Amino acid sequence: MMIISKVMLLSLSVIVILSGTTYSIFLDSENHIKSATFVSKSFEVGPGKIVSKSFYDIEFPKGHIGVKSFDAELVDEDGNSVPLYETYLHHWFAIKYNENITMSRYIEKSHDISKGINYTRNDGACRGFLLPHYWGLGGESRGTSSNLPDPFAVEFGNPTNIPHGFKEKWLFDIMAIDTRGAYSRKGCIECRCNLLNLPKDFYNVTKDINEQPLSLNYKGGLFCCKDNLQCKLRKGFHGPTRKLSLRYKIKWVDWDEHQVPLKFYILDTTDRVRTNGSTTIHDCQAEYTIPRIGHSDSPHVKKANIPMKKGGYLIYGTSHMHTGVVNATLYGQDGRVLCTSTPKYGTGKEAGNERGYLVGMSGCYPKPGSIKIKDGEILTLETRYQNKFRTGAMGFFYIHLAEQLPN
């Protein structure tokens, strides 16, 4: 498992220490699966406002456990689900880190995380700080399954994997966009730079993903959706502020010899794989712009050929995409289809079924042992979007692999 020595979270978030949550725990006595629902620290939104924050030390099940699922959604102060056309959940990422116990009180008081914290990432290969999370989706959260079949689980809290003097903890990286009154809801949730009230010196002081000055040709995406910026509103529109939270539900089991551990990989369709001698570098960009090409009905296709240093048996796969997606497919080196993830679009008004929005992505549950990815195999990730101009598009594929199968 790789360790991030210097964090630069994907959305360049503001740091907030979590002070408390609300939760309830249930136990399924038949298969010993525990379930808990938590509520994160709240944050304030208003018409057009962008919120991009990190909440450290979130509530998470204690002990040596195997996580079976992790689901989340936006809720208001009364616990009501918030529809995407009011506040769009761009993404939420759950990220693991180890905190030096001797520094805990200093960090809590000073909010200074530059000392005493090591960030640990998933098993994916994107360089440095990019895509380090273990779970994370966006507007499709309510309709995308994260359940892992028995006896498989993702192992956490193993004392032998935690450095001496450190404690395993978790944080949320969240971006939410309040689109009430927005001049263009679609442009707002795509973070179109010209539809945001950007500071005059924005392009002079903003760095891109490679720490270079942001190009004037950058039309939209994460770098224009900074915390506390605002989408342009319709003339004369006024609306109240309100507080929202991320409500999340985790299912887990206490770890024992009956559990089979899974490795979790994030593959990115923007991965520009290159080599430096014998070293393979995964130069992921995390987002991309889709230009409209003529009046063709053919979808926009983006591909990446990604070598897997370590393989395994595919147990579960799905993708994180944005509205406008047609599908995402992962192929083996021989061209066989490993998994295709397809979208579900809403048809109504209620939360989880918002008309025109991406509200879910399908997952793959192959029979354990039926699909094996070999060590060193080169996978091809292909993502397809509708042929329309789009900024900030994402194409992540999530796969859980087992190095061994149960007896």
Location of structure tokens 């509530």: 59
Helix (H, G, I), strand (E, B) or coil at 189: helix
pLDDT at position 82: 98
Read off the DSSP letter of residue 206.
-
Mean pLDDT, range 315-339, rounded to an integer:
98
Q: What is the DSSP letter of 195?
A: G
Report, as an integer, the average pLDDT of 273-296.
91
Per-residue model confidence as pLDDT tens digits over 224-247:
999 999 999 999 999 999 999 999
Through-space distance between the first and last CA atoms of the chain, rounded to whole angstroms: 26
The distance from CA 407 to its chain's CA centroid, rounded to whole angstroms, is: 33
CB 325 within 8 A of CB 358: yes
CB atoms closer than 10 angstroms to residue 19? 9
Does position 113 have pLDDT exceeding 90, yes or no? no
Torsion from C-alpha of 126, 129, 135, 141, nearest 10 degrees:
-90
Among candidate residues 205, 201, 193, 190, the one with its CA nearest the CA of residue 229: 193
With vertex at residue 237, the alpha carbon angle to CA 231 and CA 243, rounded to the nearest 5 degrees, is 65
Report residue 10's pLDDT band, with 50, 70 and 90 as the boundaries.
Answer: very low
From the centroid of its chain, how far is CA 224? Answer: 18
Residue 259 per-residue DSSP state: -
Q: Is residue 272 part of a domain?
A: yes
Report yes or no on whether pTM surpasses 0.85. Answer: yes
**pLDDT of amino acid 23:** 53
Using the predicted structure, report yes or no on whether residue 21 has a pLDDT greater than 80.
no
User: What letter does residue 110 receive in the DSSP assignment?
Assistant: H
Domain hosting 368: range is: 37-402
Q: How many domains, in total, are found in the chain?
A: 1
In a domain, 169, yes or no: yes
Residue 283 in domain: yes
Which helix (H) or strand (E) is 106 found in, with range?
Answer: helix 104-110
- Alpha carbon distance 395, 322 (integer Å): 8
| Cβ 388 vs Cβ 292: under 8 Å | yes
- The pLDDT assigned to 2 comes to 46
**pLDDT higher than threshold 50 for residue 374:** yes
Are the C-beta atoms of 174 and 51 separated by less than 8 Å?
Answer: yes
How many other CB atoms are there within 10 angstroms of residue 70's CB atom? Answer: 20
Cis peptide, bond prior to residue 151, ω within 30 of zero: yes
- What is the number of alpha carbons within 13 Å of residue 103 lying toward its C-beta? 16
pLDDT on residue 104: 75
pLDDT grade for 290, boundaries at 50, 70 and 90? very high
Contact (Cβ atoms closer than 8 angstroms) between residue 331 and residue 308: no
H helix intervals, 237-285:
none
Instruction: Give the pLDDT score at 20.
Output: 41
* Cβ(31)–Cβ(154) below 8 Å: no
Whether residue 22 is contained in a domain is answered as no
Residue 406 has pLDDT above 80, yes or no: yes
Give per-residue pLDDT as tens, 190-218.
Answer: 999 999 999 999 998 999 988 899 999 99
pLDDT of residue 14: 28
Report strand pairing: 260-261 vs 152-156: parallel
pLDDT value, residue 116: 83
Each as own residue / partner, the long-range contacts of residues 187-190 (CB below 8 Å, 24 or more positions apart, any chain) are: 187/220, 187/231, 188/48, 188/88, 188/231, 189/88, 189/90, 189/139, 189/323, 190/220, 190/221, 190/322, 190/390, 190/391, 190/392
The pLDDT assigned to 24 comes to 56
pLDDT at 3 over 50: no
For the cut 60, the answer to whether the pLDDT of residue 6 exceeds it is: no
- The pLDDT value recorded for residue 28 is 60
Residue 192 is assigned to a structural domain of this protein: yes
Q: Return mean pLDDT, the chain.
A: 91
Condensed to tens digits (0 to 9), the pLDDT of residues 249-269 reads 999 999 999 999 999 999 999
Can you say whether residue 286 is alpha, beta or left, with left for phi > 0 and alpha for psi between -120 and 50 degrees? Answer: left
71 occurs within a structural domain:
yes
325 bridge partner residues: 385
Considering the domain boundaries, does residue 375 fall inside one?
yes
| pLDDT at residue 219 is higher than 90 | yes
Beta carbons of 358 and 322 less than 8 angstroms apart: yes
- Dmax over Cα atoms in the chain, in whole Å? 66
Percent of the chain past pLDDT 90, that is, above it, reads 83
Question: Would you say 341 and 364 are in contact if contact means Cβ atoms under 8 Å apart?
Answer: yes
Beta strands in 163-214 (DSSP E): 166-178
Q: What is the pLDDT of residue 385?
A: 98
- Is 17 contained in some domain? no
- Map tokens 């149960």 to a residue: 406
In degrees to the nearest 10, what's the CA dihedral of 94, 134, 91, 314? -160
CA–CA separation, 95 and 73 (whole Å): 17
Task: Report whether pLDDT(11) > 70.
Answer: no
Q: Is the pLDDT of residue 26 over 70?
A: no
